[in-house]
C-alpha cells in the first residue's frame, strides 16, 4: 500500500473492525437483557409471549455470537498491523514497517485500545466456552452467562466509545509508524501479557458462577466443583503471567532483580493472593460446608482486584515501567468497580441466609484452622500490598503530595508473612480434619522438625550466621526460609512415601509405580503437594537474594574484573545494525579457576523508529548463582563503556520452582481414577457404607 | 466493503441466534434429594480420605475411631433423610 494514497482510499478492515465491535456490544446487551428477563420469569414462574426457556436459548446464542464478532475485530486489528496500515492511528503509534512479525502481533496489546480489545476477546472467549458447555448445569450456566454479558457490555462500551482501536489517523500520512516500545521487544513479551490477561479475565468466570449461584440460591456446593477447573486454569495462567513478567524484568530492565514491588507488578499479585486463598478455602466448603460467606466474598474481591489491576495498568493512575498506556479511562473503571461492588453487596444482603455454614470450627489444631490461617495470612499480604500500592494515590488525594512506598516497606511486611505462609504450607497437610490430638502431632511433626533443625545447623556450619555483623542481619530471613523449606519438603516427601506405602500393600507394585498410582488416584491432593514443593523451591530462590553482590565500573579493552570467583576480561566492543535497531555489544570472556567458561555479550540497543535505547542483559546461569552483566552505556566524559556486574545466588531455583508449580497444577487438573475397582470385589454380605468408603 | 462484510456477518449471527431449536434442552429443578446425594458423596469422600490417611499411619487409633464415628453419623443422618424422601 502506498502510504501517500491511504487517505484517498476506503479503509475496509478498520471499518469491518469497528462494525464488529458495535455488533459485539449489541449482542452482549441482548444477552444481558434477554438473559435477565428470562431468568426473572423462570424464578417467578411467569410466562411471557415467548417461553422463557426459548428466550434464554437466544440469549446464550447471542453470547456465542458476541465472541465471533470480537474475533472479527481482533483479526482486523492484527491484519492492519501486518499490512502496515498506518491509517489506523493505533497501528501508527505502536508499530513500524521494520518491526519483527512476532512483535507486530504483540502490538495488539502494547497500547490501551489494543489491550482492552484483548480483554474483550478473552472475556468473550471464556464466555464462548461457558455457553457451549452449558449442559453441565443449564440454569446456573445461564446466570453465569448473563453476569458475564454484563462485564462484556462494560468492556465493549469502552472499546466503542472511550478507547476505540480503529480510529483513523487525521493529517498527513507518515511513511512509517512510531514503533513498538523497545521494552516490549523481547520474546517473553509476546506471551507474558496474554498469559497475565488470561489470568485476570479468567477470574470473571468463577466470579460469575459464584454471583449466579448466590442470586439463584443454588442448593449445595456443586457450583464449586463446576468452577474448580476454571479457577485452577485461571490461577495457572496468572501464575505463569506473573513469573514471565518477573523473568522479563530480570532479563531486560537491567537492575539485577526480578521483583521491585512496582505498582503494576503488585496489581497482578493482588488477585493472585486472593485467588490462592480462594483455591484453599473452597475445599472447606466442599468437604465440610463451611466458610460459605468467606468464599463468596473472596471470589468477589478477586474479580474486583483484577479490574483494579487493569485500571492501574492502563489508566496511568500510578507510574510504572510496566504501564504502557496512560489515559482518562480511569473514571469508567471506577464506575464499573462501584457498580460491581454494589451488585455484590446487594445480592449478598438479599441472600445471606442461604450462606449459613453446616459445620463449625471444632478445634484450633485442625486442617480447617490451618486453611483459615492460610487465608488470613494471604489476605493480610493482599491488604499490605494494596495499601502500599495505593498509598501514593491516597496521599496525593489527601495531602496534595505523592508519598511513594518503596521496596523496603513491602519487604519488611511481606517477608515475615511469606515465611509464615511457608510454615503453614508444611503444617496444614499434617493436621487432621476436625481436630488433631497431641499424639497425632507428635507422630507427624517429628521428622519435619528434625529436618528444620538439621538444615539450620548445617547452614550455620557453612557460615550463614545472621548475628556475625549488622550487614548480615538480613540473612536471618534466608536462614529461616532454607530451614523451613527443608521441613516442608520433608513433610511432603513423607506424605508421598506413606501414601505410596498403602498403595504398594494393596497392589504389590514397586515404590515408583505405587507413587504414580497414588498421584493418579488423587490428582488434586498430590498435584497440590507438587505445587507446594514448587513454592518451597521458589522461596529458596528468593532467599538467595540476601547474598547478592554487585560491582559497577568502566571497562576498556583488556580490563578485567573479579566477581564471586568469576574473572571477566573485556575482549572487545562491537556494533551491529538492522532496519529496526542498532546494537552496541561488549564481548567479555568469563573464566573460573583459570578455565574459560563462556563469552558474555551484554547489549545496548538504539531503536530507530522510537529514538530510544534499551538494554539486553547477558546472564550466565548455574544452579548456585547467576552472573548478570549489564551494558549501561558510555561515560560522557571519558567515552569509556560502563558495565555493571551482579552475582545473584540461587535465582535459577525460582524458575525451577515455577516449573514445579505449573506441573503440580496440571496434575491437579487431570481427573482422578477410582481406586482399583474395589466396589467390584466387595462381598455380598459387606455393608454398603463399608463398600462406599473403601 | 468493510460494512458489507460486517452486514453479512450480522445476518449470519442473527440467523444462528433466532434459528428455531426443535429440541431445547430442559433441566429439571434441583430437588432436596439431589442435594442430599451430593452431601452423601462428599461424606463418603471424606471417609475414604480418612481411611487412607489412617492406613498411611498418619493418625493414631483413637483419633481415627472418633473421626470415623462422627463421619458415619453424618452419613447416617443423610441416608435417613434420603430414605424418608424416597418413600
Neighbours of A98 (CB within 10 A): 16
Are A581 and A608 in contact by the 8 Å Cβ rule? The answer is yes
What would the mean pLDDT of A25-39 be, rounded to a whole number?
96
Is residue A82 within 8 angstroms of chain B, CB to CB? Answer: no
> Has residue A688 got a pLDDT over 80?
no
Which range is least confidently modeled, A15-24, A269-278, A362-371?
A362-371
Torsion sign, CA atoms A377, A383, A386, A392: negative
Mean pLDDT, all residues of chain A: 88
Instruction: Pick from A59-63, A288-292, A463-467, B30-34 the range whose average pLDDT is largest.
Output: A59-63
Which range is least confidently modeled, A76-90, A142-156, A161-175, A537-551?
A161-175
What would the mean pLDDT of A609-623 be, rounded to a whole number?
89
Best to test chain A binding among B12, B26, B27, B67 (most A CBs inside 10 Å): B27
> Has residue A61 got a pLDDT over 50?
yes
Q: Say how far apart CA B87 and CA A601 lie, in whole Å.
A: 80
Residues from chain A that touch B60, judged by Cβ atoms under 8 A, are 437, 439-440, 443
Best to test chain B binding among A432, A491, A507, A517 (most B CBs inside 10 Å): A432
Torsion sign, CA atoms A541, A545, A551, A552: positive
**Are residues A498 and B57, on separate chains, in Cβ contact within 8 Å?**
yes
Q: Taking CB atoms and an 8 Å cut-off, how many pairs form between chains A and B? A: 132
Q: Minimal Cα distance from B31: which residue of A?
A: A219
What are the grid coordinates assigned to A220, written together?
449445595
Are A80 and A92 in contact by the 8 Å Cβ rule? The answer is no
Query: What is the residue whose three cell numbers read 496440571?
Result: A666
- Closest Cβ opposite residue A222 in set B25, B38, B60: B38
> Has residue A323 got a pLDDT over 80?
no
The domain locations on chain A are 1-180, 437-522+672-692, 547-652
Torsion sign, CA atoms A414, A417, A421, A423: positive
Q: Give B15 to chain A, closest Cα distance, Å.
A: 10
What are the grid coordinates assigned to B29, written together?
429443578
Confidence of residue A171 (pLDDT cuts 50, 70, 90): confident
List residues bridging with A629 in a β-sheet: A618, A645
From its phi and psi, is residue A463 left (phi > 0), alpha (psi between -120 and 50) or beta?
A: left
Q: Say how far apart CA A670 and CA A236 lie, in whole Å.
A: 14
Q: What are the strands of the beta sheet with A641-649, ordered from one edge?
A: A549-554, A641-649, A625-634, A618-621
- Closest Cβ opposite residue B58 in set A11, A19, A444: A444
Residue A400 confidence (pLDDT): 77
Q: Say how far apart CA A65 and CA A45 lie, in whole Å.
A: 28
- A612 versus A485: which is more confidently predicted? A485
Residue A218 confidence (pLDDT): 87
Confidence of residue A85 (pLDDT cuts 50, 70, 90): confident
Helix (H, G, I), strand (E, B) or coil at B47: helix
**Are residues B63 and A437, on separate chains, in Cβ contact within 8 Å?**
yes
> Has residue A321 got a pLDDT over 80?
no
- In this prediction the ipTM stands at 0.88
Q: How is residue A685 annotated by DSSP?
A: T
Proportion of chain A above pLDDT 70, given as a percent? 93
Residues from chain B that touch A432, judged by Cβ atoms under 8 A, are 53, 58-59, 63, 67
Q: Is CATH 1.20.120 correct for A1-180?
A: yes
Q: How is residue A628 annotated by DSSP?
A: E
Is residue A168 within 8 angstroms of chain B, CB to CB? Answer: no
> In chain A, what's the furthest Cα-to-Cα distance?
94
Are A519 and A668 in contact by the 8 Å Cβ rule? The answer is no
What would the mean pLDDT of A511-523 be, rounded to a whole number?
94
What are the grid coordinates assigned to A100, written together?
519483527
Confidence of residue A69 (pLDDT cuts 50, 70, 90): very high
Residue A319 confidence (pLDDT): 64
pLDDT digits (tens, 9 = 90+) for A292-318: 999 999 999 999 999 998 888 776 676
Q: Say how far apart CA A73 and CA A18 lie, in whole Å.
A: 7
- Angle (deg, nearest 10), helices A204-215 and A222-248: 160
Is residue A15 within 8 angstroms of chain B, CB to CB? Answer: yes
The DSSP code sequence of A424-462 is HHHHGGGSPSS---HHHHHHHHHHHHHHHHHHHHHHHHT
The CB-based long-range contact list for A591-596 (8 Å cut-off, 24+ gap) reads A591/A566, A591/A567, A592/A565, A592/A566, A592/A567, A593/A565
What would the mean pLDDT of A422-447 be, rounded to a whole number?
88
**Are residues B34 and A219, on separate chains, in Cβ contact within 8 Å?**
yes
Residue A4 confidence (pLDDT): 44
**Are residues B58 and A436, on separate chains, in Cβ contact within 8 Å?**
no
Best to test chain B binding among A29, A491, A693, A694 (most B CBs inside 10 Å): A693
Residue A7 confidence (pLDDT): 46
Q: Give A122 to chain B, closest Cα distance, Å.
A: 19
- Closest Cβ opposite residue B56 in set A139, A498, A675: A498
Are A47 and A41 in contact by the 8 Å Cβ rule? The answer is yes
Q: Give A61 to chain B, closest Cα distance, Å.
A: 5
> Has residue A644 got a pLDDT over 90?
yes
Task: For residue A647, report the phi and psi dihedrals to the nearest 5 degrees.
Answer: -120, 105
Is residue A311 within 8 angstroms of chain B, CB to CB? Answer: no
What are the grid coordinates assigned to A388, written together?
502500599
pLDDT digits (tens, 9 = 90+) for B55-84: 988 888 988 999 899 999 999 999 999 999
Residues from chain B that touch A357, judged by Cβ atoms under 8 A, are none
Is residue A133 within 8 angstroms of chain B, CB to CB? Answer: no
**Are residues B56 and A432, on separate chains, in Cβ contact within 8 Å?**
no
Q: Give B84 to chain A, closest Cα distance, Å.
A: 18
pLDDT digits (tens, 9 = 90+) for A141-160: 999 999 999 999 999 999 99
How many CA within 13 A on the CB side of residue A430?
26
Paired sense of beta strands A603-607 and A612-616, if any: antiparallel
pLDDT digits (tens, 9 = 90+) for A581-599: 899 888 999 999 889 999 9
Amino acid at each position: 500500500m502506498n502510504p501517500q494514497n491511504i487517505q484517498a482510499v476506503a479503509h475496509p478492515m478498520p471499518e469491518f473492525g469497528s462494525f464488529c465491535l458495535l455488533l459485539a456490544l449489541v449482542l452482549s446487551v441482548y444477552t444481558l437483557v434477554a438473559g435477565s428477563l428470562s431468568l426473572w420469569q423462570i424464578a417467578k414462574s411467569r410466562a411471557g409471549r415467548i417461553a422463557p426457556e426459548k428466550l434464554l436459548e437466544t440469549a446464550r446464542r447471542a453470547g456465542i455470537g458476541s465472541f465471533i464478532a470480537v474475533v472479527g475485530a481482533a483479526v482486523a486489528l492484527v491484519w492492519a498491523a501486518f499490512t502496515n496500515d498506518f491509517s489506523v492511528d493505533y497501528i501508527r503509534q505502536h508499530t513500524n514497517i521494520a518491526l519483527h512479525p512476532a512483535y507486530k502481533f504483540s502490538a495488539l496489546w502494547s497500547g490501551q485500545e489494543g489491550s482492552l480489545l484483548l480483554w474483550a476477546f478473552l472475556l468473550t472467549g471464556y464466555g464462548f466456552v461457558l455457553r457451549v458447555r452449558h449442559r453441565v448445569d443449564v440454569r446456573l450456566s445461564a446466570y453465569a452467562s448473563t453476569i458475564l454479558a454484563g462485564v462484556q457490555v462494560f468492556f465493549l462500551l469502552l472499546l466503542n466509545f472511550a478507547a476505540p482501536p480503529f480510529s483513523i489517523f487525521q493529517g498527513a500520512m507518515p511513511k512509517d509508524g512510531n514503533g513498538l516500545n523497545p521494552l516490549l521487544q523481547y520474546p517473553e513479551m509476546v506471551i507474558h501479557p496474554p498469559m497475565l490477561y488470561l489470568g485476570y479475565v479468567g477470574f470473571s468466570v468463577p466470579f460469575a458462577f459464584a454471583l449466579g449461584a448466590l442470586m439463584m440460591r443454588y442448593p449445595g456446593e456443586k457450583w464449586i466443583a463446576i468452577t474448580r477447573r476454571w479457577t485452577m486454569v485461571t490461577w495457572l495462567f496468572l501464575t505463569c503471567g506473573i513469573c514471565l513478567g518477573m523473568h522479563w524484568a530480570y532479563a531486560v530492565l537491567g537492575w539485577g532483580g526480578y521483583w521491585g514491588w512496582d505498582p503494576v507488578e503488585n496489581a497482578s499479585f493482588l488477585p493472585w493472593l486472593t485467588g490462592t486463598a480462594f483455591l484453599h478455602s473452597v475445599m472447606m466448603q466442599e468437604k465440610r460446608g463451611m466458610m460459605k460467606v468467606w468464599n463468596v466474598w473472596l471470589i468477589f474481591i478477586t474479580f474486583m482486584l483484577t479490574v483494579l489491576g487493569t485500571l492501574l495498568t492502563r489508566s496511568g493512575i500510578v507510574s510504572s515501567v510496566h504501564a504502557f498506556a496512560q489515559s482518562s479511562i480511569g473514571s469508567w473503571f471506577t464506575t464499573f468497580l462501584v457498580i460491581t461492588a454494589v451488585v455484590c453487596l446487594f445480592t449478598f444482603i438479599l441472600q445471606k441466609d442461604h450462606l449459613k455454614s453446616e459445620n463449625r470450627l471444632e478445634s484450633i489444631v485442625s486442617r480447617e484452622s490451618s486453611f483459615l490461617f492460610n487465608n488470613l495470612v494471604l489476605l493480610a499480604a493482599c491488604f499490605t500490598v494494596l495499601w502500599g500500592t495505593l498509598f501514593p494515590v491516597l496521599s496525593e488525594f489527601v495531602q496534595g503530595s505523592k508519598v511513594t512506598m518503596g521496596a523496603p516497606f513491602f519487604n519488611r511486611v511481606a517477608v515475615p508473612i511469606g515465611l509464615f505462609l511457608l510454615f503453614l504450607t508444611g503444617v496444614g497437610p499434617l493436621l487432621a480434619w476436625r481436630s488433631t490430638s497431641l499424639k497425632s502431632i507428635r507422630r507427624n511433626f517429628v521428622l519435619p522438625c528434625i529436618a528444620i533443625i538439621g538444615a539450620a545447623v548445617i547452614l550455620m556450619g557453612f557460615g550463614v550466621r545472621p548475628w556475625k555483623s549488622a550487614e548480615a542481619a538480613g540473612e536471618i530471613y534466608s536462614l529461616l526460609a532454607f530451614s523451613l523449606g527443608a521441613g516442608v519438603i520433608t513433610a511432603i516427601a513423607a506424605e508421598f512415601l506413606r501414601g505410596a506405602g498403602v498403595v504398594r500393600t494393596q497392589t504389590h507394585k514397586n515404590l515408583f509405580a505405587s507413587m504414580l498410582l497414588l498421584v493418579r488416584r488423587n490428582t488434586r491432593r498430590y498435584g497440590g503437594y507438587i505445587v507446594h514443593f514448587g513454592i518451597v523451591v521458589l522461596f529458596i530462590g528468593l532467599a538467595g537474594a540476601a547474598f547478592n553482590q554487585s560491582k559497577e565500573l568502566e571497562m576498556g579493552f583488556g580490563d578485567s574484573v573479579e566477581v564471586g570467583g568469576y574473572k571477566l576480561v573485556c575482549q572487545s566492543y562491537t556494533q551491529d545494525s538492522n532496519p529496526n535497531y542498532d546494537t552496541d555489544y561488549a564481548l567479555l570472556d568469563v573464566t573460573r579457576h583459570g578455565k574459560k567458561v563462556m563469552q558474555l555479550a551484554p547489549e545496548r540497543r538504539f531503536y530507530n523508529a522510537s529514538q530510544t535505547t534499551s538494554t539486553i542483559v547477558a546472564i550466565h546461569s548455574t544452579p548456585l548463582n547467576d552472573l548478570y552483566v549489564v551494558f549501561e552505556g558510555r561515560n560522557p566524559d571519558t567515552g569509556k563503556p560502563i558495565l555493571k556486574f551482579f552475582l545473584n545466588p540461587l535465582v535459577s531455583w525460582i524458575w525451577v520452582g515455577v516449573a514445579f508449580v505449573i506441573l503440580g497444577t496440571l496434575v491437579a487438573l487431570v481427573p482422578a481414577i477410582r481406586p482399583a475397582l474395589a466396589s467390584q470385589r466387595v462381598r455380598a454380605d459387606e455393608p454398603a457404607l463399608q463398600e462406599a468408603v473403601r | 466493503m468493510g460494512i458489507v462484510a460486517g452486514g453479512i456477518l450480522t445476518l449470519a449471527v442473527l440467523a444462528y441466534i433466532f434459528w428455531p431449536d426443535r429440541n431445547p434442552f430442559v433441566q429439571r429443578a434441583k430437588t432436596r434429594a439431589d442435594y442430599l446425594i451430593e452431601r452423601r458423596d462428599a461424606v463418603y469422600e471424606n471417609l475414604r480420605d480418612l481411611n487412607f490417611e489412617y492406613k498411611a499411619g498418619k493418625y493414631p487409633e483413637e483419633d481415627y475411631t472418633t473421626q470415623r464415628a462422627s463421619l458415619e453419623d453424618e452419613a447416617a443422618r443423610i441416608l435417613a433423610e434420603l430414605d424418608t424422601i424416597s418413600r
